[in-house]
Amino acid sequence: MTQLQFSAAEGYAGNVTPQEAYRAWREGEAVLVDIRSDAERAWVGFVPDAEIAAWKQWPAMTVSERFDSEVHAISARHPGKPLLMLCRSGIRSIPSSKRATELGLIAFNVLEGFEGDPDENAHRNSIGGWRARGLPWKQL
């Protein structure tokens, strides 16, 4: 088993690229946690077999009261494995990684998120992100 490749961050374990997150998850070194809202996963797509702990829920987009218990349950199912937090663009996964760290867990932010940054036409999924990098995902 190889080591997780990451860049340093303040307040949580660090940042990983989508490709590194996929490799570590696929090889069983870490747990992928989709922190996007239920609506985002349903409408935009999801990573099959990723764990789910929504940081915020649509439409209010306030921090979920269940987040703490959900990440603790995920960690308990995968003892000793770091959590790889995946959001839409790599922004919400930062505070969720910090919160998981405050709870005593090891959490990394997945850079670029599921959809990446918007392009010149304000469209996502072409500049970075899990989908644009060709990593596994599905849409209902």
pLDDT in tens, the chain (140 residues): 458 899 999 999 999 999 999 999 999 999 999 999 999 999 999 999 999 999 998 888 899 999 999 999 999 999 999 999 999 999 999 999 999 999 999 999 999 999 988 888 888 888 899 999 999 999 98
How is domain 14-110 classified at the CATH fold level? Answer: Oxidized Rhodanese; domain 1 (3.40.250)
Selection from 3, 19, 2 nearest residue 111 by Cα: 19
83 φ/ψ angles, rounded to the nearest 5 degrees: -100, 135
Check: CB of residue 33 under 8 Å from CB of residue 74: yes
Q: How many CB atoms lie within 10 A of CB 54?
A: 23
Read off the pTM.
0.94
